[in-house]
Amino acid sequence: MMLDVEACVFDLDGVLVDSEPVWEEVRRAFVADHGGTRQPDTQSRLMGMSTAEWAAYLHELGVRMAPEKIARGVVDQMAARYRDEMPLMPGAVEAVRRLSGHVTLGLASSSPRRLIDVVLDAAELKECFAATVSTEEVERGKPAPDGYLEAARRMELDPRGCVAVEDSSNGLRSAHAAGMRVIAVPHPRYPPAPDALALAWQVLPDLDALTLDLLS
């Protein structure tokens, strides 16, 4: 089968692992426990931020510690939750393995490197990816295109020959800004904004619909 794309770059949170509810619960409790006050738009603003960006934002919400300490505390709690139970999205492992070997795979995630490695190790998917990028490792988090551009650079591919698989508004905007065709798999609890969803090349109901035929 001839494929129309050179690489498929996955997001992690909300695409391969159902982590947004866990992130929301952990960060909500962390803010409350350390003197901060959440705002009505806090969750939507947090989605796609890099570690440095969301730690600084929680500090702005009134958390009484340095952003570096905030990041360490939240990531420690996330790692502990993942060790207790890895909330993989339905069809995530199957989708990655279905494409692996037929198309180059990359990953561009807002999660810190430590959590990316925990998830891919637990799911036994690390060997499927030619390149994985945390937005900790680039200048700007999503919706800036930096993470997706870096994934393409590490795979030595033109981003215009890649597709990205995303769920969130900021993720869709990020991949589109990088010049990639974007496949949206909206999370039922955190649907993307209509203007972001309009950037998608394809909108799929779930990962089971992400097939080689779709990319050919």
- pLDDT tens readout for residues 33-43: 999 999 999 98
69-97 average pLDDT score = 95
Q: How far apart are CA 111 and CA 132, in angstroms?
A: 11
H or E element that contains 196 = helix 194-197
Residue 8: strand pairing partners: 105, 163
Q: For residue range 108-166, what is the model confidence (pLDDT) as tens digits?
A: 999 999 999 999 999 999 999 999 999 999 999 999 999 999 999 999 999 999 999 99
Above 70 in pLDDT, residue 31?
A: yes
Q: What is the predicted pLDDT for the residue at 1?
A: 62
Task: Answer for the pair 151, 8: CB distance below 8 angstroms, yes or no.
Answer: no
Q: How far apart are CA 142 and CA 184, in angstroms?
A: 15
Enter the pTM of the model. 0.89
- DSSP symbols for 20-78: HHHHHHHHHHHHHHTT----TTHHHHHTT--HHHHHHHHHHTT-SS-HHHHHHHHHHHH
Nearest to 184 by CA among 159, 212, 163: 163
Q: What is the mean pLDDT of the chain?
A: 95
Q: Give percent above pLDDT 70 in the chain.
A: 99
Task: Answer for the pair 48, 142: CB distance below 8 angstroms, yes or no.
Answer: yes
198-207 average pLDDT score = 98
Task: Answer for the pair 110, 141: CB distance below 8 angstroms, yes or no.
Answer: yes
**103 contact partners, CB below 8 Å, separation of at least 6:** 3, 5, 6, 7, 8, 212, 215
Residue 86: how many CB atoms within 10 A of its CB?
15
Tokens 């909206």 locate to 186
* Long-range Cβ pairs for the range 211-215 (8 Å, 24+): 211/98, 212/1, 212/3, 212/98, 212/99, 212/102, 212/103, 213/1, 214/183, 215/3, 215/4, 215/5, 215/8, 215/99, 215/103, 215/163
How far, in whole angstroms, is CA 18 from its chain's centroid?
10
